[in-house]
């Protein structure tokens, strides 16, 4: 199974469109000789198009240099993730390794062929001054038909794709500017499949104007559920810190924050069991994430030491522990308990158990909810100020950090109705969370090192352990705490909502 990240731009053009001379694009010297080929792809999805609605495509394609099964995951800021496996027999079902990556989306429903797309393609490598292939320009004439449910209508169109090879984003910008200047238009379609399936593949939306707290809450919960699902396949694939575990976990935390800060408008008989299951999943992800953070911290600090020391044995043991934690996490993501949790999340998003008061005017009620979350943060900080130095104060500051995080998420959710003031509250709460988070990372790292014991006779390991322990004890991430706190706790922010 091979994986890579696609970075590309797509453009709509008419059948009579003529390509401009791309040698005028800064940095390009020529377009190499074009190559033509015909591609045939069958796309697979559940009968109710669960993958397409999430921006995921699974296809079996023949006719090109990359014949085989292709799984494309939704775009991120880095590009679109594509995973490939060999084609196998023509009538073979989707490979188990790809179907397994999609379990959170399909929930075990069968994958069936939903569309067939034929592409007559002309490829032109775009060369730089030194002859390197900076990008690939693809001119596609496309014919698509829907298979399930059967639709006799055939869709045809033409589009251009510019995909990076060895170049940078500036190449995409420059080529795109030249194409749009000659009549091409940036395509808004997420994929060829989305064009064939039409409105049936469109994701669900929320009202443009949110009038009630129930609508505000549902929109935010829906966004976090979708974000969590989008990272699920990457978590299943990851064998190192690619940020997928962190992103999936933060989505769960945002979800839980809203359930807690909106508890007065929710039926707790349904919310409490769901929150317990979300905590279970967050803790499993947290086992991996904590090891990621510790290993990254220690690697950075070791690199900053003046001595050139070998990596200590206990660091290698931490790496082994992280791999074991990842395998346990994969087991959880294959479990019926996890799939049942996803169904409960869906139910919470589509039919939240709200009291009648949740349908009141959103603006006034969201002000109260944000203000309440802010009071909990200030109460926690006052406890920390009174606490003596040491473990008691550390615990109180950690409580303040969690309260700041909850305020941040609550203000983020309220931003559609409360506007820039809510966004400002969220930003300042995030800065406080970051300062207190750095302190908590230091405390956790120090505790972890205290539990380490160097191998007998391993003087270099003992020295390294001592040096890192000293760094944790005497670093002080709280130098900016007072100033950050004053901004985060400014009462004017809430009064002006």
Tell me, yes or no, if the two domains 2-201 and 213-495 fold the same way: no
- DSSP conformational letter for 47: T
Helices and strands (DSSP H and E) totals, the chain: 16, 11
* The pLDDT of residue 454: 57
DSSP string, 175-197: HHHHHHHTT-EE---S-HHHHHH
DSSP three-state, residue 405: helix
Indicate the CATH number for domain 2-201.
2.40.320.10
Decide if 202 contacts 54 (C-beta within 8 A): no
- DSSP conformational letter for 22: G
State which CATH number among 1.40.20.10, 3.40.30.10, 3.20.20.140, 2.60.40.10 fits the domain covering 213-495: 1.40.20.10
How far apart are alpha carbons 402 and 379 in whole angstroms?
12
Decide if 22 contacts 178 (C-beta within 8 A): yes
Residues shown for the chain = 497
How far apart are alpha carbons 274 and 280 in whole angstroms?
10
Q: Identify the bridge partners of residue 30 per DSSP, sorted by sequence position.
A: 127
Q: Which two tokens stand for residue 439?
A: 């302190």
Per-residue pLDDT of the chain (497 residues; tens, 9 = 90+): 777 778 899 999 999 999 998 888 888 987 788 999 999 999 999 999 999 999 999 999 999 888 999 999 986 665 678 999 998 888 789 999 999 999 999 999 999 999 999 999 999 999 998 889 999 999 999 999 999 777 678 999 999 999 999 999 999 999 999 999 999 999 988 899 999 999 888 877 666 677 888 899 999 999 999 999 999 999 999 999 899 999 999 999 999 999 999 999 999 999 999 999 999 999 999 999 999 999 999 999 988 887 777 778 888 889 999 999 999 999 999 999 999 999 999 999 998 898 887 787 889 999 999 999 999 999 999 999 999 999 999 999 999 999 999 999 999 999 999 999 999 999 999 999 999 999 999 999 999 998 876 555 555 578 888 888 999 988 889 999 999 999 999 999 988 88
DSSP three-state, residue 455: coil
Decide if 145 contacts 196 (C-beta within 8 A): yes
* The pLDDT of residue 460: 59
Q: Which two tokens stand for residue 7?
A: 């970075």
Global confidence as pTM: 0.90
Q: What are the C-alpha distances in Å from 68 to residues 43, 79, 288, 365, 386?
A: 12, 21, 33, 53, 64
Nearest to 256 by CA among 225, 231, 285, 227: 225
Q: What are the C-alpha distances in Å from 342 to residues 109, 175, 278, 403?
A: 14, 42, 10, 26
- By CB atoms closer than 10 A (0-12, 13-18, 19+), residue 342 is buried
State yes or no: cis peptide before 222, omega within 30 of 0: no
Q: Identify the bridge partners of residue 136 per DSSP, sorted by sequence position.
A: 125, 163
* The pLDDT of residue 122: 96
Indicate the domain borders of the chain.
2-201, 213-495
User: Phi and psi of 474, rounded to 5°?
Assistant: -105, 0
């Amino acid at each position: 199974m091979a994986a890579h990240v696609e970075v590309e731009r797509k453009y709509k053009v008419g059948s009579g469109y003529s390509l401009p001379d791309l040698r005028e694009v800064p940095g390009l010297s020529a377009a190499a000789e074009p190559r033509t080929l015909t591609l045939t792809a069958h796309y697979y999805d559940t009968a109710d198009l669960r993958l397409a609605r999430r921006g995921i495509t699974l296809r079996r394609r023949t006719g090109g240099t990359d014949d085989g099964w292709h799984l494309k995951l939704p775009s991120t800021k880095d590009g679109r993730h594509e995973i490939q496996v060999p084609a196998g027999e023509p009538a073979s079902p989707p490979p188990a390794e790809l179907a397994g990556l999609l379990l959170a989306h399909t929930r075990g429903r069968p994958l069936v062929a939903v569309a067939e797309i034929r592409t007559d393609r002309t490829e032109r490598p775009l060369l730089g001054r030194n002859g390197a292939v900076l990008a690939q320009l693809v001119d596609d004439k496309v014919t698509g038909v829907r298979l399930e449910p059967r639709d006799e209508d055939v869709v045809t169109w033409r589009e251009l794709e510019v995909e990076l090879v060895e170049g940078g984003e500036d190449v995409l910008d420059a080529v795109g500017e030249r194409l749009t200047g000659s009549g091409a238009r940036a395509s808004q379609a997420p994929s060829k499949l989305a064009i064939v399936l039409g409105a049936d593949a469109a994701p669900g939306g929320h009202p443009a104007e949110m009038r009630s707290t129930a609508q505000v809450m549902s929109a935010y919960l829906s966004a976090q559920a979708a974000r969590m699902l989008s990272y699920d396949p990457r978590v299943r694939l990851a064998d190192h810190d690619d940020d997928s575990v962190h992103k999936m976990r933060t989505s769960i935390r945002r979800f839980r924050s809203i359930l807690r800060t909106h508890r007065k408008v929710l039926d707790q008989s349904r919310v409490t069991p769901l929150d317990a299951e979300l905590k279970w999943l967050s803790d499993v992800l947290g086992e991996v994430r904590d090891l990621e953070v510790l290993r990254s911290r220690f690697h950075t600090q070791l690199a900053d030491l003046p001595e050139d020391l070998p990596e200590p044995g206990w660091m290698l043991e931490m790496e082994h522990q992280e791999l074991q934690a990842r395998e346990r996490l994969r087991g959880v993501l294959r479990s019926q308990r996890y799939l049942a949790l996803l169904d409960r999340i869906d139910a919470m998003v589509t039919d939240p158990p709200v009291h009648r008061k949740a349908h009141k005017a959103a603006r006034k009620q969201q002000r109260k909810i944000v203000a309440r979350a802010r009071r909990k943060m200030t109460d926690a900080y006052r406890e920390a100020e009174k606490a003596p130095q040491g473990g008691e104060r550390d615990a109180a500051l950690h409580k303040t950090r969690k309260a700041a995080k909850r305020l941040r998420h609550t203000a983020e959710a309220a931003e559609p109705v409360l506007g820039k003031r809510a966004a400002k509250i969220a930003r300042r709460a995030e800065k406080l969370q970051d300062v207190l988070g750095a302190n908590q990372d230091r405390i956790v790292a120090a505790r972890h090192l205290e539990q380490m014991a160097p191998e007998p006779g391993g003087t270099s390991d003992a020295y390294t352990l001592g040096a890192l322990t000293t760094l944790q004890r005497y670093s002080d991430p709280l130098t900016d705490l007072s100033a950050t706190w004053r901004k985060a706790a400014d009462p004017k922010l809430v009064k002006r909502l």
